[in-house]
Amino acid sequence: MKEFTKWQGCGNDFVLFDCRQDVPADYAKLAQQVCDRHYGVGADGILVVLPSDCADFRMRIFNTDGSEAEMCGNGIRCFARYIYDFGLTDKTCFTVETGAGVLVPEIILENGQVTGVKVDMGEPHLLGEEIPVTGFDGQRVIDEPLTVDGKTYRMTAVSMGNPHCVIFVDDAENFPIYELGRQFESHALFPKKTNTEFVEVKDRRHVRMRVWERGAAVTLACGTGSCATVVAGILNDKLDREAEVQLDGGRLIVKWAENNHVFMTGPAELVFSGKLTDCEVR
């Protein structure tokens, strides 16, 4: 039997496995089986808790297609909530090794109850080779043309440890994300593919954002995408340094602080716990 917990942050859902004592497993295959919404538990990805040599814990995340992501903002909040709620630490602020470096989540308590998780997401990477975006070495990719399906859009590219392409649109609700999302993801300009955010600016402190996630398609929320969205909004003089991002599954608060670090605050909730039989992990 393999025990798991299922979590969601703004509707972005994950199946979490505590593998600190386990032998190495085929996490990619496990993710494909478990994330299937018809024949598995159903999720946008799996989170794996592992020991770390450089932080309090290590997090790995695998998408529904089995690919491994460097980071996930909603995922790390759920990961942090598990660590705290299930007694793996009594600290409300601790370090987590990820594919994007060591990040620092903080459990937010009010009257002894967890009300959310705030994460220091580190510094955004803005140069073309850091994201990466082909043809922009040594340059920031701000309000640059990107042609998809015969139409030219304006993109701003940001890495929050994983690549993001932010497209500002007039109407996020009705943008054809299901029809065009995969074409953005696999565009030739993005050698490692990209997550794509379609963003409608409501005012300087509020945006409506929908997301096509690399390796997972449309999801209800994306934490790193929300961070990239606010950074892109600031770079294009559309947003203040702190803004609320309204997602399909909820809301996140993102601040690009004066120390160049991006801070994300939002919910993380346990959905249920369960066990997989050996025959189900095949």
* Tokens linked to 10: 């703004």
Selection from 248, 252, 266 nearest residue 178 by Cα: 248
**CA 17/CA 35 separation, integer angstroms:** 13
Per DSSP, 32 falls in state H
Instruction: Please answer whether residues 268 and 254 qualify as being in contact, where contact means their C-beta atoms are separated by less than 8 angstroms.
Output: no
**CA 209/CA 221 separation, integer angstroms:** 9
Coil, strand or helix at 81: helix
**CA 83/CA 94 separation, integer angstroms:** 10
Determine which one of 78, 165, 222, 227 is catalytic.
222
Residue written as tokens 């109850």?
Answer: 113
Determine which one of 10, 19, 35, 72 is catalytic.
72
Coil, strand or helix at 102: strand
Residue 132: asked if its preceding bond is cis (omega within 30°), the reply is: yes
227 is catalytic: no
72 is catalytic: yes
**CA 20/CA 243 separation, integer angstroms:** 37
The set of residues, in sequence order, having a beta carbon less than 8 Å from that of 263 and lying 6+ positions away, is 118, 119, 120, 121, 254, 255, 257
Annotated catalytic sites, by residue? 72, 222
